[in-house]
A and B are shown apart, each in its own frame.
Chain A
Amino acid sequence: DGGITQSPKYLFRKEGQNVTLSCEQNLNHDAMYWYRQDPGQGLRLIYYSQIVNDFQKGDIAEGYSVSREKKESFPLTVTSAQKNPTAFYLCASSSDSGSYNEQFFGPGTRLTVL
């Protein structure tokens, strides 16, 4: 079954803690992305990676970190420096070998700071 998996589905964090959100894909896609979505809002790009061991900041990278050690995995760490981390986090991937960015999304992780 091909697709993108995100875990956990729900995550609760105490203030001052770092947490890591998992994203795995078995689509053999080169590029992976992390977005943040606030209630009733659009999608804001946090980080993206087009190749293993390389990644770029998106529009709202402050307070977040990522790694891309394997093609199929792109974990996101929400650090204590992120002032308002409660949000719905979406991971996506795309092939990048084609002539356009056909991007597919995972089911999301809802992070709540207590």
Chain B
Amino acid sequence: QQQVKQSPQSLIVQKGGISIINCAYENTAFDYFPWYQQFPGKGPALLIAIRPDVSEKKEGRFTISFNKSAKQFSLHIMDSQPGDSATYFCAASKGAQKLVFGQGTRLTINP
């Protein structure tokens, strides 16, 4: 019940396209859902996060969509660019408790 399942494992998108990464969780007590971006050889960086009181949050080209009833949330990257090529991790937590991470998605944007 503590797991966060992330899909797909890898994703290839053409430049200018929309990248979509999905995560599903079981624990209905989770109330914080961040996404991290990691470039090779670097630490993950917090990209965007959402609380369950809203269904969508947008920051620039990055949008989180949240479906509380389905226990799913997703990251959408609009107008994907080669510089967006990285590994993306979703995560979830209850309050200030430790984060539970998804397995990661390796995103490649073809020029």
Residues of chain A at the chain B interface (Cβ within 8 Å):
4, 6, 31, 33, 40-43, 45, 48, 58, 88, 90, 92, 94-108, 110
Contact = CB atoms under 8 A, between A and B. Distances in A.
Interface in B12-58: 31-32, 34, 36, 41-46, 49, 51
Nearest to B100: A45
A98 B32 CA distance: 12
B89 interface: yes
Shortest 9 CB-CB contacts between residues of A and residues of B: A105-B43, A100-B32, A42-B103, A101-B93, A43-B101, A96-B96, A105-B44, A42-B104, A107-B43
Q: What range describes how many residues of B lie at the interface?
A: 20 to 34
Interface of B: 31-32, 34, 36, 41-46, 49, 51, 89, 93, 95-99, 101-104, 106
B101 A42 contact: yes
Nearest to A40: B106
Nearest to A100: B32
B103 to A, nearest CB: 4
Contacts of A45: 98
B103 A41 contact: yes
A34 to B, nearest CB: 12
B103 A100 contact: no
A101 B43 contact: no
A43 B44 contact: yes
Contact of B43 (A42, A102, A108): A108
A39 B42 CA distance: 13
B44 A100 contact: no
A33 B31 CA distance: 20
B85 to A, nearest CB: 15
Given A42-B102, A96-B96, A101-B99, A106 B32 contact: no
